[in-house]
Amino acid sequence: MKIAFYGTKPYDKIWFEPMGKEYGFDVHFIEAACSRETIFMAKGHDAICIFVNDYVDEEMINALYEMKVKAILLRSAGFNNVDVKAAEDKIVILRVPSYSPEAVAEFAMALLLTVNRLTHKAYNRTREFNMSLNGLMGTDLYEKTVGVIGTGKIGQAMIRILNGFQAHVLCYDPYPAEGLEAEYVSLEKLFKSADIISLHCPLTSDTRHLINKDTIAIMKKGVYLVNTSRGSLINTEDLIDAMLEGKFGGVGLDVYEEEEGVFYEDRSGDIITDDNLARLMTFPNVLVTSHMGFFTKEAMQAIAKTTLENAYALENGLPLVNQVGTEMVQL
């Protein structure tokens, strides 16, 4: 099988290169992201392999179909970046539904602890022998009320971590899970009661801009917000307005509405044309990271393994257990 591997970074090759060889696949590593401009590079391949900030729209699906590309191998769980409906009956879409929920949950906690206890600022200060504590006061997580939105694999891992801090965990999910050490409540109660809110639901038509001026209005003043799910769960302009009013104690964002083309790239020498992103960076209590919650050795290895198993199953006519179907699309 010939695979066009878009958006290659050096760390992708660590596992994909040797594992791809073990399977006998011919993996063609392409640095460019998958887009309308680069889709022609898929010609001559049986499958393309893409990540979260690549996209495949209807026009690109049709181009792939004409090039006889049989599959889109997603190196991610989320598939909101592919037109699944347009691909029906033309191209098979396979994903990695689970790799390391703990990786993302642990990172959500890292973001929370950082914006709360300001270790990133302390690090810079002490390196310059500024040992003053002014402005570095945080709050205990112990006995705080934390709202977890979405109690799937990552949300549940986050709840386990929060219980270790002896926080009081409230949660919301339209499909509640059994046996969690957390209390299911309405979304409204969660927004009103939580000192900290962590988002762990997928991006769907129901969850787009879940955090907006109305929901922010009912949150407690000084609330902390962490988003490691998808940028469009938050209406960024509403978040900025509320930040300007001092609503939030701290905000940790691993994802951003307009992250495509910016995240995963070194833009340090460029003029930033995205005013909202630039504005977010100016707040002392906002921490933005570049969609890296998944980025652990264990998760990267698991992503490579499942992606290549998906390709193997397709090549050998085995059941496609990780296929994305139109019935899964809610956007």
The residues binding ligand NAD (CB under 6 A) are: 77-78, 98, 101, 104, 149-155, 172-175, 200-202, 204, 206-207, 228-230, 254-255, 291, 293-294
Residue 275, Cβ neighbours under 10 Å: how many?
A: 10
Distance in angstroms (rounded) separating the CA atoms of residues 230 and 259: 10
Find, among 149, 164, 270, 161, the residue nearest to 215 by Cα: 149
**Torsion angles phi and psi, residue 47, rounded to 5:** -150, 155
Cβ pair 167, 118 in contact under 8 A: no
Collapsing DSSP to helix, strand or coil, 180 comes out as coil
What would the DSSP string read from start to end of 206-246?
TTTT-BSHHHHHHSPTTEEEEE-S-GGGB-HHHHHHHHHTT
Q: Smallest distance from the beta carbon of 226 to ligand NAD, in angstroms?
A: 11
Smallest distance, ligand NAD to C-beta of residue 288, A: 12
Nearer to ligand NAD, 150 or 250 (CB): 150
Indicate if 230 belongs to the active site. Answer: yes
Q: Is-catalytic flag, 178?
A: no
Specify the residue, 98 or 276, whose C-beta has the smaller distance to ligand NAD.
98
Which of residues 179 and 317 has its CB atom nearest to ligand NAD in the complex?
Answer: 179
Helix axis angle for 101-117 and 119-127, nearest 10°, is 60
Cβ proximity to ligand NAD, 107 vs 224, nearer residue: 107
Q: How far is the CB of 49 from ligand NAD (least distance, A)?
A: 17
Angle (CA) 109-242-227 rounded to 5° is: 25
User: CB of 207: closest distance to ligand NAD in angstroms?
Assistant: 5
Annotated catalytic residue within 75, 95, 230, 257: 230
- Residue 62 or 98: which CB sits closer to ligand NAD? 98
β pairing state of 248-253 and 168-172: unpaired
CB of 263 to ligand NAD, least distance (A): 10
Select which of 75, 95, 257, 259 is catalytic. 259
Helix (H, G, I), strand (E, B) or coil at 260: coil
What residues are annotated to the active site? 230, 259
